[in-house]
Amino acid sequence: MTPVELSRTVLCAVRRAVDDGELSVAVPARAVVTPPGPGGRGDYATNIALQLARPAGRPARQVAEILRSHLRDTTGVADVEITGPGFLNIHLEGSGATASLVREILQGGGGYASGRRSILRTGINSGPAVDSSGDIDSTRDENSTDVGGSTDADPDTDADGHTDVDREADVDSDAAVDHGAAVDHGADVDRDADAAPDADPAPDAVTATRPTIPPYGHAPTLQGRVIPLRVPYEVRAEVVADSLVRIIATQGGRAEVDHVRPGERVDLRPVPAPEDPAPLGPDAARWALLYPAPHDRPRITADHLLQRESNPLFRVRYAHARARALGRNAVRLGFDAVSGDLADVTAAAPLVRALAEYPNALTQAAAHRAPDRLARHLVAVADALLAFQHTVLPLGDEKPSAAHRARLALAVAAGTVLAGGLSLLGISAPDYL
């Protein structure tokens, strides 16, 4: 059962309680389901009982007790516990929660960048190219400025022809990160000098058909709503509005952007950039303007171009490139990605949690008109993936197993989310970095 399916299950439980006369409330449009927080239990948790307590005129724990009885009768739900003031902690049957999450992400696949619209008057474009199917052309890399260590260097095509099958080199590259040195992860990403960036079989190894469901994280929370975005003639406000057009569309809404003259009412007025960000290149410039909260002044510095662990943009794009490289190397080793049990991999838990929370991050970014919330969540996904990646491929004489296939599926799912999130921000996600 996926988080989306579980959310519908919770709403069905509310509807049954209302129909049976146990609760007198309006059934909400959605139920937020996330991995349990500190002190929680089970696979997922929801605060729906706290949400309904006041309109029901009952204590939250009493509402939770009513809903628990209905949820326990649902196929796929093993048990439901109540913690704290009234949180419902849901245990799913078997060990399929992670596998269902991965399948949902991979089935949603591409299409994140469809319907994009650029409102910019500057050299900061609206991000990666999109083909007629709505898929991202992630092979294009636009930041060509070489400052210290550019994010656009292509260490993936080296004459040595290393393939990262033996991942012992990861230890040395990670040590470089820990000491704040410039990162050369070339041996850690696929280094086939003759490989073409578009010759990546990883997506087809996971799903052979085009996705027929919306991309992961899309939800109808703003369905049918028109969101006016009145912005001043200022580059940061325009970039934020441009990203919000796509983010709001993921929630079923439509943003209408209008420029206003000085003194007129505005809906968005983030703190302006202290200088022109265009010299950073399109991707780094957009990240520099979107990553800080609207009330924070953005830093327009060459730090956004460095290939260092301290650069959040580099970590996000590098993590995506690593996910793609893992898929390529797995094909060379003769196995593909199949979602399955990951209970034996401790490092998987933070990544699973970050992926499960992505839809809520997207919803919050749209609701609060804050693309920085999406950007920060992408950093969390990237950091979790980089910590997990070393468990994916077999080591030494180890043969690929079902566990390796499940780990690969999780890594590819994380790469899918990173590519989709970057696309919503108008930033490219190169397969090679």
Q: Which of 86-100, 305-319, 386-400, 411-425 shows the lowest mean pLDDT across its residues?
A: 86-100
Across the range 127-152, mean pLDDT stands at 36
Pick the residue with more confidence: 19 or 168?
19
> How far, in Å, CA of 48 to CA of 43, rounded?
16
Residue 97 · residue 348 · CB < 8 Å: no
> How far, in Å, CA of 3 to CA of 323, rounded?
23
Token match 């079902």: residue?
A: 402
Q: How confident is the model at residue 61 (pLDDT cuts 50, 70, 90)?
A: very high
Element (H, E) at 90: strand 87-92
* pTM score of the predicted model: 0.66
State the virtual CA torsion across 407, 410, 416, 419 in degrees, nearest 10: -80
DSSP string, 330-361: HHHTT--------TT-TTHHHHHHHHHTHHHH
Token match 């959605």: residue?
A: 30
- What tokens were used for 304? 């956004």
Maximum average pLDDT range among 57-61, 100-104, 109-113: 57-61
- Residue 214: pLDDT over 70: yes
Q: E strands of 220-317, at which residues?
A: 226-232, 254-260
> How far, in Å, CA of 320 to CA of 130, rounded?
18
* Backbone CA torsion sign across 138, 142, 148, 153: positive
Pick the residue with more confidence: 93 or 241?
241
Pick the residue with more confidence: 111 or 23?
23
Q: How confident is the model at residue 125 (pLDDT cuts 50, 70, 90)?
A: low
- Residue 341: pLDDT over 50: yes
Q: E strands of 171-275, at which residues?
A: 226-232, 254-260
Please tell me the predicted confidence (pLDDT) of residue 134.
Answer: 36
- Residue 3: pLDDT over 80: no
- Residue 149: pLDDT over 50: no
Q: Torsions phi, psi of 257, nearest 5?
A: -100, 130
pLDDT in tens, 266-298: 999 999 999 999 999 999 999 999 999 999 999
Please tell me the predicted confidence (pLDDT) of residue 244.
Answer: 97
Average pLDDT, the chain: 78
Instruction: Give the gyration radius of the chain's Cα atoms.
Output: 22
